[in-house]
A and B are shown apart, each in its own frame.
Chain A
Amino acid sequence: MKKSESAGDRMRRLLALMPWLRERPGVEIADAATHFGLTEEQLLDDLAVVFMVGLPPYSPDALVDVIIEDGKIWISYADFFRRPMRLTPGQGLALLAASEALLSVQGSDVDGSLARALEKLASSLDVTPEAGVEVRLGQADQGVLRELRDAAGSGQALEISYYSYGRDELTDRTILPWRVFADSGAWYVEAFCGTAGGARLFRVDRIGSLVPTDTKPDAGPDGGRRAGPEKAPDTWATVGAGFESSGSTVRLQLGPEAAWVSETYPCEVVSTFADGSTVIDIMVSARPWLERLLLRLGQSSSVIEGGGFGEPASLRTDAARRILARYER
């Protein structure tokens, strides 16, 4: 028995376990245990509970009957618990959303079985196509995504041109990808980067071109794998810069309408004022990233400490003038 398991958790499982066993007379204990993710001992523990279940007057013929023989299980009981319980809204949603999300990834439903399953499930949950759930994992070129996943599966090295948004620079790199995933609205690839000589996280939508190469970077015996961050970093500043964020702290004064900044990026709110304006400390790894933020915030915000990226008073002004220079040609 899992230690943290409550009566409710156990009850949930039993209500699914009983009808499942009843439909499969003589099923192997080992198979049933595997099916419900239990050890055989845990499964037998569960069955010990259902012996005592039944309907009034609880005469032997009104109780659940369990026979365990030669490593096999037979269960019989009257008509209650004949089918599992309905899906809760949360469970229905979880399955629909997972299926929707996977269908949006091209090449993940080759034989159409997922689309058929989704349709049946949606109709049994009373969801029509125009109402319900839609999941978009992130913008990414489906071809690039597929090639990255294939490479991660086969250990193929790739040459990519990568646009580092935070630094606003383009680099060519040789990478050995091992994991492709989506998080918080974007696709990422974890890879050993031969150019940087270490594990790196890249955003798939910033990979400009990609070609397979026979020149494998020397990643060591484990393919250079390292456990990535638990969650992909929310801040664009850290992506492509290695798993540990590095940079320096910038202190900003934000107007009331700029509250989204502290909701969007990891930062520390230093003080909050009555009118809703705040002072925050935010970790920034490169100047272009900071310039974009300041330009988007406009006049309602100001830099208090520039973190070594420039003079607080001129960071935004310089960036605005540089862009304007283009328009004066």
Chain B
Amino acid sequence: MSKVERLLNLTAVLLETRIPITADDLRELVEGYPPPGPSFNRAFERDKDDLRTLGIPLVVESVAHTDPPLLGYRIPPEQYYLPDPGLEQDELAALNLAALTIRLDDLGSGEALWKLGASAGAAEQSANGAVATIPSDENLGPIFSAITARHTVGFIYRGDSRRVEPWRLDFQRGRWYLTGFDLDRNAERNFRLNRIDGSVTVEAITATAERPANETRQARQAWEIGPDLVTEVQLLVDADRVAWARQQLGEAATSELNDDGDVIFTVPVVQVNAFFSFVIGFLDHAEILGPPQVRADFIDLLGDMA
């Protein structure tokens, strides 16, 4: 009897039972366990760990009419079975293609697709056609599960302990971010996943803060984010740097073309310091024209270094 067979039999028994089964009874029911004693206990503990690692929802409940109460195990079918999302063949094919084109390291989209009924064969054939690889993070799975269950998460962030109601995971500028409601600071906060120390803990406390409607789904630059008021900054960009500037500034900025090909962009800026950092990227190929205070601040910033 191989270990896989024993685990499959154990899963089948626990899935079919309506009442929790004690460890002793499981030893009788499932073939391949050692006799009662420490070696059985060890084998059973390992099997429980294996099932949980596989994501199988093993629950522990007290067995009715036992005194003192005995603990038993079962797998609730409604938690185990994949609800049928009702995907049509073309939709499944599209998902398959998406998973092939955009790779998330280590998260197992291939296995997810088997479960949904898509083919792994195609995956191997076009593995080289990946358009993007998105880095994974050990905390992505647990945080995502807390988002869907509306649970709170706790973690250490730059040395501080945080409790957060998680709302959204964003991948941008090559990094994963968590947006949520920070319960200690009583405000919305963003966290970089790779700055979280160790593993997050998920607490089954139902989240209470109201999730904001997702107002913007457009790419946001660093100078557009924050609670401060918007300042409209005029930025003159030399003709040969205009194409690059336009790509960076996106649709939020309006522009006005001069005769010589230079362009004056009007950019809504929330964080002036972040915008200065962007403008430095142009070196001497751009100039902040106004408002006067912003121009003066930029000159001061450079003056301190000159």
Contacts and interface: CB of A to CB of B under 8 A. Distances in A.
Chain B interface, >50% SS class: helix
B293 interface: no
B132 A101 contact: yes
B92 to A, nearest CB: 7
Contacts of B85: 120-121, 123-124
A208 interface: yes
B115 A87 contact: yes
A131 B213 CA distance: 8
Contact of A133 (B15, B119, B168): B168
A87 B82 contact: yes
A291 B280 CA distance: 9
Contacts of A324: 299, 302-303, 306
A86 B55 contact: yes
Contacts, number: 335
Nearest to B140: A93
B304 interface: yes
Contact of B55 (A85, A123, A185, A321): A85
Interface residues of A, number: 110
Contacts of A180: 131
Contacts of B53: 8
Contacts of B132: 101, 137, 181-183
Contact of B280 (A13, A141, A292, A326): A292
A72 to B, nearest CB: 18
Interface string A1-26: 00000011011111111001000000
Contacts of A124: 83-85
B115 A85 contact: yes
Given A54-B12, A93-B144, A163-B241, A134 B168 contact: yes
A91 B7 contact: no
B120 interface: yes
Nearest to B142: A89
Contacts of A78: 16
A35 B119 contact: yes
Interface stretch (B58-66, B103-111, B257-265): B103-111
Given A138-B173, A205-B247, 11 more contacts: A12-B111, A15-B54, A37-B121, A94-B108, A101-B98, A113-B94, A120-B87, A121-B95, A130-B167, A182-B131, A326-B287
Closest 5 CB pairs of A and B: A208-B243, A184-B174, A185-B174, A89-B145, A90-B141
28 contacts: A7-B50, A36-B114, A37-B110, A37-B120, A84-B81, A86-B55, A87-B82, A88-B112, A89-B148, A90-B140, A98-B99, A102-B131, A109-B94, A113-B94, A114-B91, A114-B98, A121-B87, A124-B84, A126-B149, A161-B243, A163-B241, A181-B130, A184-B174, A207-B243, A295-B302, A299-B304, A317-B306, A321-B306
